[in-house]
Chain A
Amino acid sequence: MAAWMKIYKKEMKDAIRDRRSVMAALSYSIGTPLIMCLLFVAMIDKFSSPSALYISVENARQAPELMRHLASRDIFPDSDVPEGEVVKAVSLHIDENYLYAMQHGELAKLTITADFSNDNLRSSIRRLQRELRSFSREVAALRLLTRGVSPEVIRVLDVQAKDTAKPEAKGGFIVGVAIFMMIYAVFISGMNLAIDTSAGERERNSLALMLSLPIRIRDLVLGKLFAVSSFALFGLCMILLVSKIAYSFVPWQDLGANVVIDTRFALYMLLFSFPLGLLAASMQLFVSFMAKTFKEAQSYLTIVLIVPMGMAMVTGYDIGPDVLRWLPVSGQQKALMEVVKGNALPWDSLLIATAITLLLTGVLVAALMKLLSSEKTVFSL
Chain B
Amino acid sequence: MIEVQGLTKKIADVQALDDLSFRADDGKITGLLGPNGAGKTTCLRTLFNLLCADKGWAKVDGIDVSQHPLAAKQTLGLFPDPFGLYERLTPREYIQYFAELNGLKKNAAQQACDEVLARLQMQDIADRRCKGFSQGQRMKTALAQAIVHKPKNIVLDEPTRGLDVMSTRTLRDLLLSLKADGHCILFSSHVMQEVSALCDEVVVMASGRAIAQGSPQALCERTGQDSLEEAFIALIGSDEGIAA
> Contacts of B76 on A, CB cut-off 8 Å?
212
In the complex the two chains form, is B74's CB within 8 Å of A214's CB? yes
How far is A17 from B94 in the complex, measured between Cα atoms in Å?
A: 14
Partner of A205 from B11, B80, B93 at Cβ < 8 Å: B80
In the complex the two chains form, is A206's CB within 8 Å of B45's CB? no
B97-105, B197-205, B232-240: which lies at the interface: B97-105
**Shortest Cβ gap from A169 to chain B (Å):** 48
In the complex the two chains form, is B70's CB within 8 Å of A216's CB? yes
Interface mask (A129-145 → B, CB under 8 Å = 1, otherwise 0)? 00000000000000000
In the complex the two chains form, is A10's CB within 8 Å of B97's CB? yes
How far is A13 from B90 in the complex, measured between Cα atoms in Å?
A: 11
In the complex the two chains form, is A214's CB within 8 Å of B73's CB? yes
In the complex the two chains form, is B50's CB within 8 Å of A213's CB? no
Interface mask (A172-213 → B, CB under 8 Å = 1, otherwise 0)? 000000000000000000000000000000001111110111
A367 contacts chain B at the CB level, 8 A cutoff: no
B window 64-82: CB within 8 A of A: 70-71, 73-74, 76, 78, 80, 82
A119 contacts chain B at the CB level, 8 A cutoff: no
> Contacts of B48 on A, CB cut-off 8 Å?
211-212
A344 contacts chain B at the CB level, 8 A cutoff: no
Nearest chain-A residue to B89 (Cβ)? A14
Given contacts A214-B102, A216-B70, contact A375 B80 (CB under 8 A): no
How far is A206 from B88 in the complex, measured between Cα atoms in Å?
A: 13
> Contacts of A212 on B, CB cut-off 8 Å?
48, 50, 73, 76, 78, 80
B51 contacts chain A at the CB level, 8 A cutoff: yes
Nearest chain-B residue to A378 (Cβ)? B50
In the complex the two chains form, is B50's CB within 8 Å of A381's CB? no
B86 contacts chain A at the CB level, 8 A cutoff: yes
A215 contacts chain B at the CB level, 8 A cutoff: yes
In the complex the two chains form, is A6's CB within 8 Å of B74's CB? no
A-B interface contact total, Cβ < 8 Å: 69
How far is A14 from B129 in the complex, measured between Cα atoms in Å?
A: 11
Nearest chain-A residue to B46 (Cβ)? A375
> Contacts of B74 on A, CB cut-off 8 Å?
214
B contact patch SS? loop
A7 contacts chain B at the CB level, 8 A cutoff: yes
How far is A13 from B103 in the complex, measured between Cα atoms in Å?
A: 20
Interface mask (B109-147 → A, CB under 8 Å = 1, otherwise 0)? 000000000000000000001000000000000000000
In the complex the two chains form, is B11's CB within 8 Å of A3's CB? no
Given contacts A212-B48, A375-B52, A381-B11, contact A206 B85 (CB under 8 A): yes
**Shortest Cβ gap from B58 to chain A (Å):** 13
Partner of A13 from B71, B87, B89, B106 at Cβ < 8 Å: B89
B84 contacts chain A at the CB level, 8 A cutoff: yes
In the complex the two chains form, is B84's CB within 8 Å of A213's CB? no
How far is A209 from B78 in the complex, measured between Cα atoms in Å?
A: 8
Nearest chain-B residue to A7 (Cβ)? B101
> Contacts of B86 on A, CB cut-off 8 Å?
10, 14, 204, 206
Instruction: Identify the interface centre among A1, A209, A211: most chain B CB within 10 Å of its CB.
Output: A209
Interface mask (A13-53 → B, CB under 8 Å = 1, otherwise 0)? 11001100000000000000000000000000000000000
B12 contacts chain A at the CB level, 8 A cutoff: yes
Partner of A215 from B85, B87, B101 at Cβ < 8 Å: B101
Instruction: Identify the interface centre among B84, B97, B102, B103: most chain A CB within 10 Å of its CB.
Output: B84
Nearest chain-A residue to B47 (Cβ)? A212
In the complex the two chains form, is B88's CB within 8 Å of A205's CB? no
In the complex the two chains form, is A205's CB within 8 Å of B84's CB? yes
In the complex the two chains form, is A214's CB within 8 Å of B50's CB? no
Q: Can you give 21 A-B contacts (C-beta < 8 A)?
A: A3-B101, A6-B97, A10-B89, A10-B93, A13-B89, A14-B86, A14-B88, A14-B89, A204-B85, A206-B84, A208-B45, A208-B50, A208-B80, A211-B48, A211-B50, A212-B73, A212-B80, A214-B70, A375-B50, A375-B52, A378-B50
Could you list which residues of chain B lie within 8 angstroms of chain A, going by C-beta atoms? 11-12, 45, 48, 50-52, 70-71, 73-74, 76, 78, 80, 82-89, 93, 97-98, 100-103, 106, 129
